[in-house]
Amino acid sequence: MTSTRPASTNLHPRRALVVLGAVIAATGVWAVVRQVGGIDLAVATAAGPAVVGLPAVVLTALAAGLAGWAVLAGLERWTHRPYRTWRVLAAGVLVLSLLGPVANALSPASTGGLIALHVAVGAALMALPGRR
């Protein structure tokens, strides 16, 4: 008799690496836009204009990654096609998230940089591995 290991044995470390990859991707985009391009990622807030700094980029990417991981885990528990549902949901959230930079960025350059950040994180998180 052969014992089989569940498909999720190595799932947590792989998902953690994807979340870390999303944070690294966001950091890389921020560095290129801000440090190489010299673009301030300025947005309008209720308190006035604000510049999106590296700590905000890292924490937001990490929060999005952990939230995505939790949603995917819930989908695996409660739906029949969790990974397909995850990809559709993640793509929808990415598209909706682009409304933020379009509506709140203070310059075309900021808009482009913020969109690049959103796409980098969203694309990385769509790669969260599912149980197969």
φ, ψ of residue 30 in degrees (nearest 5): -60, -45
Mean pLDDT of the region 95-112: 96
Mean pLDDT of the region 4-12: 62
**Is 60 exceeded by the pLDDT of residue 52?**
yes
Q: Where are the beta strands (DSSP E) in the chain?
A: 42-45, 48-51
Rounded CA Rg of the chain? 17
* Interatomic CA distance for residues 68 and 55, integer angstroms: 20
The closest of 110, 91, 93, 89 to 101, measured between CA atoms, is 110
Give domain limits for the chain: 13-125
Q: Are 125 and 89 in contact (CB under 8 A)?
A: no
**Is 60 exceeded by the pLDDT of residue 2?**
no
How much is the pLDDT for 60?
Answer: 97
